């Protein structure tokens, strides 16, 4: 299968992009990764259905991670900067008509882009394990923390009070939480793209979100589009896992407020249903996109 790679200039930086099946006939599917700073790598699991979809699959590393520029003024790690990068990518790659799949932070970027910019050419959205409110996200994570053993709750509390995020006990508790609600460490049997070393954007994550998933303190801490979700008129598929960081309650708010939407809840999945239940997720995605150009 043909894969096209390259770089696009944006301001004084470079955005790395990767297109699978670039000569396909139907409108492309653009992937917006999570984090911020998580890289496109995990999206390569979708390569196997590129020909069946007959679409170009467009992936990129947002500036601040992966193969894109890493060294930049940290004040650029904000929603507006990454939105402008997205607009630049669409323009330079001639993505006039397209579908967008945004996962986690990528879904947040998708929501804000659609609501604030009202862009033309969007055929459909796939909002994967994402959120409309940082405040609600925080509430849901601390609700889950409240179910943990008291001693583990206390470890998290003390680390946050003392700004001590390098404490081994704290890291152990956070790893346990993320294993349960986000993802497992890659195994030898996992696809290569999951096992590959990735150039994660840790600074981008801390500056824009915070030290952990529980407590948004960065430039995205005030993110809240819940009251404006009704402005989205593009057909939208919401996907999430039953044990997802994006809890069923968070996903239901998206579903209840986006008029032309469908919600697929994956029973055995965490934050990446396209990994935990890959075959089912790919089937659902194929069925969704079959309804569009």
Angle formed by the axes of helices 248-257 and 134-145, nearest 10°? 150
132 catalytic? Reply is no
**Among 112, 182, 244, 246, the one annotated catalytic:** 244
CA atoms within 13 A on the CB side of 20: 21
163 catalytic? Reply is no
* Residue 90 · residue 83 · CB < 8 Å: no
244 catalytic? Reply is yes
β-pair type (57-61, 13-20): antiparallel
**Among 69, 104, 208, 240, the one annotated catalytic:** 104
Pick from 59, 7, 64, 42: nearest CA to 199: 64
Using a 10 angstrom Cβ sphere, with 0-12 exposed, 13-18 middle and 19 or more buried, the burial of residue 272 is buried
- Kindly state the tokens that stand for 101: 């799949």
Containing 29, the helix (H) or strand (E) segment is strand 29-32
Q: Secondary structure of 55-81 in the HEC alphabet? A: CCEEEEECCCCCCCCCCCCHHHCCHHH
**Among 33, 69, 271, 276, the one annotated catalytic:** 271
Q: What is the DSSP string of 269-289?
A: -SS-HHHHTHHHHHHHHHHHH
CA dist 71 and 94 (Å) reads 27
Catalytic residues: 104, 244, 271
């Amino acid at each position: 299968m043909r894969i096209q790679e390259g770089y696009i200039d944006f301001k004084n930086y470079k955005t790395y992009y990767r297109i699978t099946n670039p000569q396909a006939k139907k409108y492309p599917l653009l992937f917006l990764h999570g984090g911020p700073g998580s890289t496109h790598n995990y999206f390569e699991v979708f390569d196997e259905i590129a020909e069946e979809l007959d679409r170009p699959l467009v992936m990129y590393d947002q500036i601040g991670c992966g193969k894109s520029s890493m060294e930049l003024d940290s004040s650029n790690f904000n929603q507006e900067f990454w939105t402008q990068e997205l607009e630049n990518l669409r323009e330079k790659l001639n993505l006039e008509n397209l579908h967008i799949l945004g996962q986690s932070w990528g879904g947040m970027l998708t929501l804000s882009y659609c609501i604030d910019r009202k862009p033309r050419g969007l055929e459909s959205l796939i909002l994967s394990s994402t959120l409309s409110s940082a405040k609600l996200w925080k509430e849901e994570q601390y609700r889950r923390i409240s179910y943990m053993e008291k001693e583990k709750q206390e470890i998290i509390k003390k680390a946050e009070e003392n700004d001590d995020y390098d404490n081994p006990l704290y890291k152990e508790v956070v790893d346990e939480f993320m294993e349960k609600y986000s993802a497992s460490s890659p195994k030898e049997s996992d696809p290569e793209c999951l096992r590959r070393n990735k150039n994660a954007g840790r600074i981008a994550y801390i500056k824009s979100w915070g030290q952990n998933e529980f407590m948004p303190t960065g430039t995205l801490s005030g993110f809240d589009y819940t009251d404006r979700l009704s402005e989205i008129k593009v057909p939208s598929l919401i996907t999430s896992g039953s044990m997802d960081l994006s809890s069923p309650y968070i996903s239901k708010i998206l579903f209840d407020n986006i008029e032309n939407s469908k919600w697929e809840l994956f029973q055995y999945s965490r934050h990446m249903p396209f990994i935990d239940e890959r075959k089912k997720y790919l089937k659902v995605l194929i069925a969704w996109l079959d309804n569009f150009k």
